[in-house]
Amino acid sequence: MNPLKPSKIIRLDPQVQAYADVYAETLSALEEEEYQSDLVPFSQKKAQIKEQVVQLFSDNQQKLQRAQILLKQMFALQKSSRVDFSVWEEAVKKLKIEMENRSFYNRPIEEKLEALQVTAKIPSAFMQQAYDCGMACLNEKRFDEGECIFLFLHYLNPNVFDYWLGEALCQEEQKDFAAALLSYVNALTFNTKKEVIFYQMASCLYQLKEKKASLQSLDLCIEYAKRDAANPELLQLAVETKSSIETTAA
C-alpha cells in the first residue's frame, strides 16, 4: 500500500460493518498464528486484511442487504414460521455492542475463528428457515433473490456445503458462469457430492469456452460417479456430454 496515496474510504451499512469487523478479526487471528515476517509489522498486515475485507463486503453489501429484506418479508409471510427474523436483528445489536466495548477482541483465538453464526449465537432453526427460503427462490426460478439469500447464509457460516451449492446453482441459472464456478470450487472443499459438483463445473467451463478444462472436469465426474452406484443417471449423462464435446471439438 502506498502511504502517499490514501485508500478510498468505503462506508458500509452499520449492520454490514459489524459483520465485516468480525470477519476481518477472524482472518487476522488465523493469519497471526503463522505470521513470520520481520519486515512488515503484523499491525500493518492486519490493516491490509481489514481493508481487503471491507472491499469484499462493499462489493456484496447490496446483496446482503437485499437478503435481509427478503428474509424478513418471507419469514413474516410464513404462517408456521419457526423463528422470527428479529432473532437476527437482536444478534447484530449484541454483536455491535461487543465490538464497541472491545470484549470480542479479548476472546480466545479459537472463539475468534468460529463461524459468525456461532459468534452471534444464531440458532440453527433460523439458519434452516432461511435456507428453506433460499430453496423456495431457487425452485420458483427467482434466481437473483436466491443468490442473495445463499450469499447471506454462507457469510454467516461458510462451513455448510448446501449454502455454496445453492448460490452456485442460482449464479449458473443467471448465466454468471465465472461466479458460479468459484462457488462450486468452494463447495468442493466439503468432499460431498463431488460427481455432481464436477458435472456442474464442466458445464460452466464449457460456457466459458474452456473446453479442455470442461473435459477434465467431466473425467473427474465420471470417476467419482463410478464409485457411487447410487447415481447411474449422472454417470450416463456425463459420458454422453463428454462424447458430445469431444465430437464438436474434433
Residue 127: CB atoms within 10 Å: 17
- Report d(CA 153, CA 151) in Å as an integer: 5
For 160-250, give the CATH class: mainly alpha
> How many residues would you count in the chain?
250
Stretch 80-99: mean pLDDT: 82
Q: Say whether pLDDT at 112 is over 60.
A: no
pTM score: 0.77
| Residue 7 scores a pLDDT above 80 | no
- pLDDT tens figures, 155-175: 899 899 999 999 999 999 999
More confident residue, 46 or 85: 85
Q: pLDDT value at position 71? A: 96
What confidence category does residue 123 fall into, taking pLDDT thresholds of 50, 70 and 90? very high
Mean pLDDT, rounded, for 140-165: 95
Per residue, what are the HEC states of the chain? CCCCCCCCCCCCCHHHHHHHHHHHHHHHHHHHHHCCCCCCCHHHHHHHHHHHHHHHHHHHHHHHHHHHHHHHHHHHHCCCCCCCCHHHHHHHHHHHHHHHCCCHHHCCHHHHCCCHHHHCCCCHHHHHHHHHHHHHHHHCCCHHHHHHHHHHHHHHCCCCHHHHHHHHHHHHHCCCHHHHHHHHHHHHCCCCCHHHHHHHHHHHHHHCCCHHHHHHHHHHHHHHHHHCCCCHHHHHHHHHHHHHHHHHHC
Position 168 scores a pLDDT of 97
Q: Where are the domains of the chain?
A: 13-32+41-155, 160-250
- Which pLDDT band, with edges at 50, 70 and 90, does 49 fall under? confident
pLDDT bin (cut points 50, 70, 90) of residue 50 is confident
153/67 Cα distance (integer angstroms): 9
- Predicted pLDDT of residue 173: 97
Dihedral over Cα of 93, 99, 101, 106: its sign: positive
User: What are 227's three cell numbers?
Assistant: 464409485
pLDDT in tens, 177-226: 999 999 999 899 887 889 999 999 999 999 999 999 999 999 999 999 99
Burial environment of residue 59 by CB neighbours within 10 A (0 to 12, 13 to 18, 19 or more): exposed
pLDDT band at 31 (very low <50, low <70, confident <90, very high): confident
Computed on alpha carbons and rounded to an integer, the radius of gyration of the chain in Å comes to 21
